[in-house]
Amino acid sequence: MAERVVVAMSGGVDSSVAAALLHEQGFEVLGVTLQLWGKDVCASSGTRLCCSVRDAMDAKAVARRLGIRHEVLERVDAFRTTVIDYFVDSYRDGYTPNPCIACNDHIKFGELLQHAQALDAAGVATGHYARVGYDEKNRRWSLRRSVYLEKDQSYVLFNLKQEQLTRTRFPLGELSKDDVRAIARSLNLVTADKPDSQDICFVRDRNKDGFLRRQLQVSDESGPITDLQGHVLGTHHGLLGYTIGQRQGLGLAVGRALYVVALDQPNNRLIVGSQEDLLKQRLVAERVNWVSIPEPTQPLRVLAKIRSRHEPAPAWVTPQVDGKTQVEFDEPQSAITPGQAIVFYAGDRLLGGGWITKDE
């Protein structure tokens, strides 16, 4: 009897090909499309397509083409609590969140994995560009980067635990995006040339700040924009939504490029500076999850990545007695942002990662 695998089918080309490859390999594939947005989010987004009806239809068409089962799994409440509320609350508290990581943690490898277990499936597969392998030396499952680093998505998977990795498959880990689209075209899948999603999935009108204000029901409270010396350069209309390193949308005309370097919430002040002012060499991370290795007890040499599009940089990681971890880069890094994840690599192995705090 074929081993059963649940594939998270979002209606995009990556998950479509992931399902196709597993089906070709002889697995019993069950495609599941997650319905994650209720009427409240759809109404606030200002678009009729927010609830991804079209995506679900595309996923069902792919499943029909492949000859596999397909179902829609509603998890609106869980998504609201673990992803949307986290996203909104983080900005309210002055952090810059990563909702994709929260969705992976709680929905794809949480709710969906539980659903797979209830169906007696061996595990869950997704269209992420990453790899999973077993490390005999450490007797642990390891998370590895995609063979094609330009598409690597291991960063957003750093928080997976050992018990999740044992039941996870990434069929696209050794393929390029061109390979994936070629496979989809060869199978005449409706998603073959479908564009990749670039935006926060639940903010379909691309107006993040408007979404946040509607969710928090706050008004725009004006305040000063100052440089690091406290000189007033202009006025902002609410700190909500600003993030460290932001250059666009400041509304300043001072004859030089300025970037957000800090949010002074107690004084409702937006602090800006030069690109050099964004450079920092140290940070503190909390809630660190060691994926591929046991938790280290001594300083560890790593390549550290501070956001999804950051080139990993050499650093020392030193565990602290308070459960936090100090990271010191060889060279200062730009726009280290509280609320974002920092992820540690050795070669193609993702060792672990945590969350950047406001402490320095």
Partnered with residue 273 across adjacent β-strands are 259
Of 107, 205, 209, which is closest to residue 156 (Cα–Cα)? 107
Q: Is 103 a catalytic residue?
A: yes
Q: Is 51 a catalytic residue?
A: no
Q: Could you give the C-alpha distances from 329 to 303, 317, 334, in angstroms and in order?
A: 9, 9, 11
Listed in sequence order, the residues at least 6 apart from 345 whose beta carbon sits closer than 8 Å to its beta carbon are: 145, 302, 303, 304, 305, 312, 351
Rounded CA gap, 67 and 56, in Å? 16
Partnered with residue 72 across adjacent β-strands are 33
Helices and strands (H, E) in the chain, number of each type: 10, 17
From the candidates 50, 51, 100, 103, give the one annotated as an active-site residue.
Answer: 103
Q: Could you give the C-alpha distances from 53 to 33, 57, 59, 357, in angstroms and in order?
A: 10, 6, 10, 38
Side chain identity at residue 308, one-letter code = S
CA angle 97, 101, 106 (to 5 degrees): 115
Active site residues: 103, 201
